Amino acid sequence: MTETTSTVFHRYCLLGDESPDTILISTDEVHFYVHRKQIMGASDSLWAGLLISSPESLPSSSLHVTEYAPTLEIILRSIYRLSLEDYSATLETVLAAINAMKMHGISLKSHISPGMPLFNALVDKLPSAPLEVYCVAAENDLFELACEASKYLLHMSMSSVTDVIALRLGHLYLRMLFDLLSERTRILQRLVIQPPPQHPPTALCGSDEYRGLQSAWSKMACTPILSGGPDTSVEMLRATFNSDNFLNSCPTCVQFINRHVEDVLSRWSTTPNTICRNPMDFRVALPSQQVTPQLDISSAMV
Ligand SMILES: [Zn+2]
């Protein structure tokens, strides 16, 4: 019978100038030629004892593993630090590889950190499965991966978190996600509630005109406050506070408005959009000692 061999881990696959000395055979009978030293070094349990049965002194040995070829391919590419970009694995296969790595005593923290092939493969899955990746990150305390995943969860409502998901996330990662969503919501509200400052009165523009400006600002602020969430984009805010809405204001007011809008946009753009270990890290976006004005939403909506 013809031997099916991995296209990457074939018999001529060199590590430096060393030829393979071990063959791993997947459940579906694909042969992977590897270097025992390399795969032993990645595991703190000799692949859960698999490698003990075949001493290094043997010139070549074949070992049957319990993984299918696609799963084993991901594990070995991770160990050899080979890119997975050209390998279109499904999320299920990537997750199977992660589970197998844990079973074989291969450190996930070492192989799923920024820049590592498996980290990049999981980041590629984020647009379609952010919550699943966040759960996997939480289950294995992979903070950097959880950070990346959390960027894609800004639209989420905490009320949609089921008991099963909460259990998978655990207290710490559940709290960090809750903090991310609630703090961004709170910061957005505080930023947009604050109206532009009043300029010194002039013959054309005084307190009455400023009250009109405040009222117009409040009406606009209602949009992000009532319907905007943690995933509100800077572009959405810019469109909301369009200066065309202040055409009746004096030139100095318009200058103050434009400057204030740019400040709000700048602060919102620098508000953390990933989980933070410390909730106070979110507050850096707010002006120091900012006092939140009381906004009468009902009157502003008239
Ligand atoms: Zn004015």
Residue labelled with tokens 């061999």: 5
Instruction: Find the 131 Cα to ligand 1 centroid distance in Å.
Output: 48
| 59-87 average pLDDT score | 90
CA of 268 to the centre of ligand 1 (A): 26
Is the model's pLDDT at 213 over the cut of 80? yes
User: What CA–CA distance (Å, rounded) separates 235 from 214?
Assistant: 22
* Rounded distance from Cα 251 to ligand 1 centre (Å): 7
The pLDDT, as a whole number, for residue 121 is: 95
Ligand 1 centroid, distance to 247 Cα (angstroms): 11
Residue 206 above 70 pLDDT? yes
Q: Phi and psi at residue 124, in whole multiples of 5°?
A: -60, -25
Q: Is the pLDDT of residue 296 over 50?
A: no
CA–centroid distance, residue 72 to ligand 1 (Å)? 69
Going from the Cα of 157 to the center of ligand 1, the distance in angstroms, rounded, reads 40
pTM comes to: 0.85
Which class is 4-125 in CATH?
alpha beta
Task: Report how far ligand 1's centroid is from the alpha carbon of 70 (Å).
Answer: 67
Ligand 1 center to 195 CA (angstroms): 13
User: Separation of 193 CA from ligand 1 center, angstroms?
Assistant: 19
Contact criterion met (CB below 8 Å) for 119 and 144: yes
CA of 248 to the centre of ligand 1 (A): 9
Distance from the alpha carbon of residue 245 to the mean position of ligand 1, in angstroms: 14
Average pLDDT of the residues in 92-111: 95
Q: What's the CA-to-centroid distance between 219 and ligand 1, angstroms?
A: 18
- Distance from the CA of 302 to the center of ligand 1, in angstroms? 23
Q: Is 213 exposed, middle or buried (0-12, 13-18, 19+ CB in 10 A)?
A: buried
pLDDT at 229: 87
**Separation of 226 CA from ligand 1 center, angstroms?**
28
Q: Find the 181 Cα to ligand 1 centroid distance in Å.
A: 36
User: How far, in Å, from the CA of 202 to the mean position of ligand 1?
Assistant: 8
Question: From the CA of 141, how far away is ligand 1's center (Å)?
Answer: 54
Q: For residue 242, how far is its CA from the centre of ligand 1 (angstroms)?
A: 17
Domain assignments of the chain as residue spans, ordered by start: 4-125, 188-300
> The sheet that has 4-5: what strands, in order across it?
4-5, 30-34, 22-25, 61-64
Q: Is the pLDDT of residue 292 over 80?
A: no
Asked if pLDDT for residue 42 goes beyond 90, the answer is: no
pLDDT at residue 106 is higher than 90: yes
| CB atoms inside a 10 Å sphere around CB 131 | 18
Is beta strand 4-5 parallel, antiparallel or unpaired with respect to 30-34? parallel
CA of 66 to the centre of ligand 1 (A): 75
Q: Is the pLDDT of residue 284 over 60?
A: yes
Q: What's the chain's average pLDDT?
A: 87
Reported as a pLDDT band with limits 50, 70 and 90, residue 245 is: confident
Residue 249 Cα, ligand 1 centroid: separation in angstroms?
6
Q: What is the token pair recorded at 257? A: 């408005």
User: At what angle are helices 163-193 and 143-150 packed, to 10 degrees?
Assistant: 60
Q: Please report, rounded to a whole number, the percentage of residues in the chain having pLDDT higher than 90.
A: 63
**Quick one: pLDDT at residue 300?**
38
Q: DSSP labels for 54-98?
A: S-TTSS-EEEE-SS-HHHHHHHHHHHTT---TT----HHHHHHHH
Q: What are phi and psi of 287, to 5 degrees?
A: -60, 145
Strand ranges (DSSP E) for the chain?
A: 4-5, 22-25, 30-34, 61-64
Does 214 score more than 80 pLDDT? yes
Question: What would the pLDDT profile of 7-35 be if each residue is shown by its tens digit?
Answer: 999 988 888 888 898 999 999 999 999 99
